Structure 1
């Protein structure tokens, strides 16, 4: 665990957050389980763990399980975004599981992070595809404007 000096006003990060990294079921994958609250005080612990896992040789996929997270603040989303950037630089993929928790999904969608990475992908999804994004509607062909007679008020 990462030990940092804490100010008297800061809560103890060890009591609020647990981050565990284990090898994934597929070769080249790492599973990171996060439990507790991820806020400005605890996000450095998550960032340190994700940083160490994304730098490992042979890692092609980092799966972050947030289903046991009670609170995900902006600092936590920033740590995930930095991990996503490091993964992309190394040719790896970051996957985030929320366990269907609406408050987590909402935070990831509002920040636009859900558009960058695979959030709660189904197991049937092939691993070769990139992040899941919403399909864009096809543009309609332009139609000539309808000419209507002008009304003149007198």
Structure 2
């Protein structure tokens, strides 16, 4: 059951648990105005005991450098909890931002949340972040 955790004029963040993953769906723009709310939402979920995340960015219309910064901040927090993180990004625009920033090598990026949640989470999969996992 999808639960809304952030709702504003320009952003909606909700989550659901699928196959051991907490799928955080972001709908709207990820920028200097919305990034703090997204970060806080994920930190609250970590505090509630969620450790394995898929950031579903399928409905993100725009993302700037603050958006990339919040993903890095979230990743650090998840890593501290020996969790894991995957990105679901169907939009070519979002994928291009990851490619241009060089961050595509640091994350497991899937075309959809459904594909990202097909396999079970592996605790500590961010141990080598920001470098790709060996193997």
What TM-score results when the alignment is normalised by the length of structure 2?
0.75
Aligned residue number for residue 24 of structure 2? 32
* SS, match of residue 15 in structure 1: coil
For structure 2, list consecutive stretches of 5 or more residues without a partner in the other structure. none
Larger Rg: 1
- The count of aligned residue pairs is 122
Higher share of residues assigned helix: 2
User: CA, structure 1 residues 47+128, in 2 after alignment: closer, same or farther (shift >3 Å)?
Assistant: closer
Aligned residue number for residue 108 of structure 1? 98
Please tell me the root mean square deviation across aligned C-alpha atoms, in Å.
3.0
Alignment of 1:1-154 (within 5 A): 14-22=8-16, 24-27=17-20, 29-57=21-49, 59-99=50-90, 101-120=91-110, 122=115, 127-128=121-122, 130=125
Asked if structure 1 preserves the Cα contact closer than 8 Å seen for 2:19 and 2:120, the reply is no
| Alignment partners' CA distance in 1, 2:22 and 2:121 | 14
For structure 1, list consecutive stretches of 5 or more residues without a partner in the other structure. 3-12, 136-154
Asked if structure 2 preserves the Cα contact closer than 8 Å seen for 1:46 and 1:76, the reply is no
Higher share of residues assigned strand: 2
User: CA, structure 1 residues 37+80, in 2 after alignment: closer, same or farther (shift >3 Å)?
Assistant: same
**Taking CA–CA contacts closer than 8 Å with sequence separation of 6 or more, which of the two structures ends up with the larger relative contact order?**
2
Deviations 1:35-87 (A, max 9, x none): 01111111111111122123332x33111100001001111111111111111
